[in-house]
């Protein structure tokens, strides 16, 4: 037998999951261009993962979508991108932002309970908040800030807040997890943000052993300072 | 440098190659490996995988493989198991392996101090194997996998159980606070986990976790039972063709450098999965000569 290049066959293995809950503001102020840009961004995000060449990301990333206006609604339960069509958002009412993020935290906890009950290891879930306004007056921002701080410290999830033009960045800074300041979107560059998110999720789902994630510098981010 | 690779009854090859995400992030390969053959067909092989979150883990893993090969050589010099052609019993090996890994850790503390680094910046896993025609002695801290093919029925079996946490990418390192606790367990096995395998082997493999899903059945989800499991089963369709190719290289007296160059190419992109792997990839493969 001749000495050849080494060749081998690999087994089929189940990819361990990474949950990302998109928590999206659909309040009245998002009407018009913002909501249509957000919908276009979501659609290209979905397509990029579904048709892209990162097979690990496709089999590993579970997406869930929660929208908040006057009401909070989970419009997509956690699922691989292959298993659902991206829903189209429409605007409705005010900004129940705190309730929306709370629902995302509950979604993360429920999914983690399922992972645990099936004994599968999982990657730390992500919660991404996108908002263009300030929360309604009845929203308890201080309590949410505490909840996020504790959740992040206890490594329950990673929380990233993204403000769109008009967003109350001071509030977002209050609720941001330590070490992960809120970022502000340039104009309505949702497609840029979601391309970045897709690359970043690819990076996260490929990381090993508590590796710090070095994100590439986003081209959608606007410089801002919190005074 | 790997010493006297081809002078014993085994042909051993190894390579450590950088993963796709480390290339993208401009991070060095954090895996290391080293092996050394000894008298009577005995030898030592070590694999270490540096923690992605630790700044100097490439240097940590390089230090640990050198220090571990040296420390286990000294253990063999003292115990002379290879000269007497006997394997120690489990109790003796568990104690000896723990003590030897503690010495490696002490060396790592010294190395950190010398360079004014935190020892945690050198965090890495370690798998150390003493292989012989009689059986295998293995010890490890952290993840990765090890396999051997038993002579009796040619079956490939796991030689260790990786230490894993709840999150998919959690493990324990030689630099972790594990030494004060005698009975520390993770993934249902002790830290370190040390085993004596008395079934004679004809081949073995040690690998970092970057290679595991390509070579082991290690993640299975039963839809009916809604249960995930890690069978920890070396995939024979992966290992058998590789060792067959090693056998043909031996028969033809191919230079080890040439074999290892092909081996490195294989780990870089010999399968679709290996080519796309984000993590660093190390595998040491040994085949007993007939």
Q: Strands B10-17, B281-288: parallel, antiparallel or unpaired by DSSP?
A: antiparallel
- State the sign of the Cα–Cα–Cα–Cα dihedral A25, A31, A36, A37: negative
Residue B1: what pLDDT? 41
Is position B5 within any domain?
no
Per the structure, the count of domains in chain B is 1
Distance from CA of B266 to the nearest CA of A (A): 6
B167 contacts on A by Cβ (under 8 Å) = 121-124, 155
Beta pairing partners, B145: B207
B254 contacts on A by Cβ (under 8 Å) = 3
A124-153 per-position pLDDT tens digit: 999 999 999 899 999 999 999 999 999 999
Residue A225: what pLDDT? 47
Closest CA to A94 of A148, A31, A162, A21: A31
Here the CATH number for the domain that contains residue B250 is 3.60.40.10
Report ipTM for this prediction.
0.91
Is position B3 within any domain?
no
Helix boundaries (H) for chain A: 33-51, 55-60, 97-117, 141-153, 169-175, 190-205
Of chain A, the percentage scoring pLDDT greater than 90 comes to 66
Which of B170, B226, B245 is facing A209, going by the closest CB pair?
B170
Give the per-residue SS3 of A99-128: HHHHHHHHHHHHHHHHHHHCCCCEEEEEEE
Pick the residue from chain A with its C-alpha nearest to B220: A14
A16 contacts on B by Cβ (under 8 Å) = 168, 219
Taking an 8 Å cut-off on Cβ atoms, the answer to whether A209 and B169 are in contact is yes
Pick the residue from chain A with its C-alpha nearest to B241: A8
Question: Measured between alpha carbons, how far is B247 from B253 in angstroms, rounded to an integer?
Answer: 10
Which of A6, A15, A210 is facing B262, going by the closest CB pair?
A6
Q: DSSP letter string over B201-238?
A: EEEEEEE-GGGHHHHEE--EEETTTTEEE---EE-HHH
Closest CA to B126 of B168, B84, B63, B189: B63
- The rounded average pLDDT for each run of 10 residues, N- to C-terminus, in chain B (290 residues) is 52 95 84 96 97 91 98 98 97 98 98 96 97 97 97 97 88 91 88 97 97 97 96 98 95 93 97 92 92
Which of B227, B245, B249 is facing A118, going by the closest CB pair?
B227
pLDDT at A35 over 90: yes
Which of A4, A14, A18 is facing B245, going by the closest CB pair?
A4
- State the sign of the Cα–Cα–Cα–Cα dihedral B85, B88, B94, B96: negative
| Domain carrying residue B111 | 10-288
Is position B4 within any domain?
no
Quick one: CATH architecture of A39-207? 3-Layer(aba) Sandwich (3.40)
Is position B269 within any domain?
yes
Question: Measured between alpha carbons, how far is B197 from B151 in angstroms, rounded to an integer?
Answer: 12
Disruptive mutation site among A209, A214, A216 for chain B (greatest number of B CBs within 10 Å)? A209
Is position B107 within any domain?
yes
Which residue ranges make up each domain of chain A? 39-207
């Amino acid at each position: 037998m001749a000495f050849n290049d080494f060749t081998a066959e690999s087994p089929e293995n189940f990819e361990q999951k990474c949950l990302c809950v998109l928590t999206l503001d659909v309040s009245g102020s998002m009407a018009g261009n913002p909501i249509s840009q957000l919908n276009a961004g979501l659609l290209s995000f979905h397509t990029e993962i579904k048709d892209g060449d990162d097979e690990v990301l496709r089999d590993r990333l579970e997406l869930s979508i929660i929208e908040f206006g006057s009401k909070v609604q989970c419009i997509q339960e956690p699922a691989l991108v292959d298993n659902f069509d991206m829903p189209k958002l429409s605007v409705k009412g005010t900004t129940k932002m705190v309730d929306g993020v709370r629902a995302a935290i509950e979604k993360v906890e429920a999914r983690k309970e399922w992972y645990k009950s099936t004994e599968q290891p999982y990657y730390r879930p992500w919660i991404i908040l996108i908002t263009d306004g300030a929360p309604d007056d009845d929203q308890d921002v201080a309590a949410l800030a505490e909840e996020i701080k504790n959740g992040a410290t206890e490594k329950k999830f990673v929380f990233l807040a993204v403000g769109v033009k008009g967003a109350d960045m001071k509030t977002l800074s209050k609720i941001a997890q330590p070490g992960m300041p809120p970022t502000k979107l340039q104009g309505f560059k949702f497609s840029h943000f979601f391309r970045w998110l897709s690359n970043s999720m690819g990076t996260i789902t490929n990381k090993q052993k508590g590796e710090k994630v070095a994100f590439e510098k986003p081209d959608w981010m606007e410089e801002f300072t919190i005074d | 440098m790997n010493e006297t690779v081809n002078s014993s009854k085994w042909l051993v090859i190894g390579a450590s190659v950088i993963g796709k995400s480390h290339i993208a992030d401009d991070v060095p390969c954090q895996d290391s490996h080293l092996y050394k053959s000894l008298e009577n067909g005995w030898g030592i092989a070590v694999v270490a995988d540096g923690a992605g979150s630790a700044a100097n883990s490439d240097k940590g893993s390089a230090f640990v493989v050198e220090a571990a090969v040296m420390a286990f050589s000294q253990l063999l010099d003292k115990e002379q198991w290879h000269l007497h052609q006997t394997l120690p019993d489990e109790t003796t090996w568990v104690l000896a392996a723990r003590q030897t890994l503690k010495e490696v850790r002490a060396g790592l503390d010294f190395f950190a101090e010398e360079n004014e680094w935190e020892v945690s910046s050198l965090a890495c896993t370690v798998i150390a194997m003493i292989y012989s025609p009689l059986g295998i002695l293995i010890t490890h801290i952290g993840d990765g996998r090890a396999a051997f093919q038993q002579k009796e029925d040619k079956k490939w079996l796991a030689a260790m159980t990786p230490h894993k946490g709840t999150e998919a990418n959690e493990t324990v390192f030689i630099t972790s606070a594990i030494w004060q606790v005698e009975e520390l367990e993770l993934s249902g096995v002790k830290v370190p986990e040390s085993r004596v395998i008395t079934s004679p082997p004809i081949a073995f493999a040690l690998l970092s976790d970057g290679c595991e899903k390509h070579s082991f059945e290690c993640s299975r989800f039963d839809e009916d039972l809604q249960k995930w499991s890690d069978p920890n089963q070396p995939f024979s369709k992966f290992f058998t063709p590789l060792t067959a190719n090693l056998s043909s290289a031996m028969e033809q007296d191919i230079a080890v450098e040439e074999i290892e160059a092909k081996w490195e190419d294989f780990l870089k992109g010999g399968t679709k999965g290996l080519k796309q792997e984000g993590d660093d990839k190390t595998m040491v493969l040994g085949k007993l000569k007939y």
